[in-house]
């Protein structure tokens, strides 16, 4: 993958900054789902990711189950039933985001190996999220978000992370 200057600069972010970038970008884009049900499912899953970011009180296995528990309610299963192309793309953002947070959670828990679906996820997947987002929202919103996250390196810690980005999520 050929990274532009923006991605090279973003790769130097801390893990918390990277995770925040995934989460906030995805929270912005899920507003474009065609069905409220998809928004609700995704919001609930992302809340678990924020909870992990802020308190570490959600296990990596629980996060992993959100996307692929081999049951009817997991996000991969739901995505496979979706007809709208934009909705499929937005679910991809949700899946990449949860998988990225999940990988960080497994690392935090000291895991040496990861479930197969999680193992291949890394910060490079943000490029996919950014591509999907830029087809649905203004590029300037993403650029502003990236600048803001870079500027918040000292503020993005393990608690109240979501509140730092409230103005991006609610617009």
Q: Where are the domains of the chain?
A: 15-169
| CA dist list (Å): 64 to 30, 31, 78, 99, 103 | 19, 23, 15, 7, 9
pTM of the predicted structure, to 2 decimals: 0.84
pLDDT in tens, the chain (171 residues): 333 445 546 677 888 888 888 898 899 899 999 999 999 999 999 999 999 998 999 999 999 999 987 666 789 889 999 999 999 999 999 999 999 999 999 999 999 999 988 888 888 888 888 888 888 887 788 888 888 877 776 565 545 556 656 666 665
| CA dist list (Å): 100 to 42, 94, 105, 120, 171 | 15, 10, 9, 9, 24
The confidence score (pLDDT) of residue 106 equals: 96
């Amino acid at each position: 993958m050929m990274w532009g200057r923006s991605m090279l600069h973003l790769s130097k972010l801390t893990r918390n900054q990277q995770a925040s970038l995934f989460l906030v970008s995805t929270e912005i884009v899920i507003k474009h789902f065609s069905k409220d049900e998809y928004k609700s499912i995704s919001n609930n899953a992302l809340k678990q990711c924020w909870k992990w970011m802020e308190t570490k009180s959600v296990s990596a296995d629980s996060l992993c189950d959100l996307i692929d528990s081999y049951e009817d309610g997991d996000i991969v299963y739901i995505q496979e039933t979706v007809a709208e192309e934009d909705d499929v793309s937005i679910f991809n953002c949700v899946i990449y985001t949860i998988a990225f947070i999940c990988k960080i959670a497994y690392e935090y828990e000291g895991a040496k190996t990861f479930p197969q679906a999680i193992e291949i996820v890394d910060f490079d997947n943000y490029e996919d999220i950014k591509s999907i987002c830029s087809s649905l929202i203004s590029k300037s919103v993403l650029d502003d978000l990236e600048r803001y996250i870079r500027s918040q390196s000292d503020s993005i810690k393990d608690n109240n992370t979501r509140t730092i980005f409230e103005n991006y999520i609610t617009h």
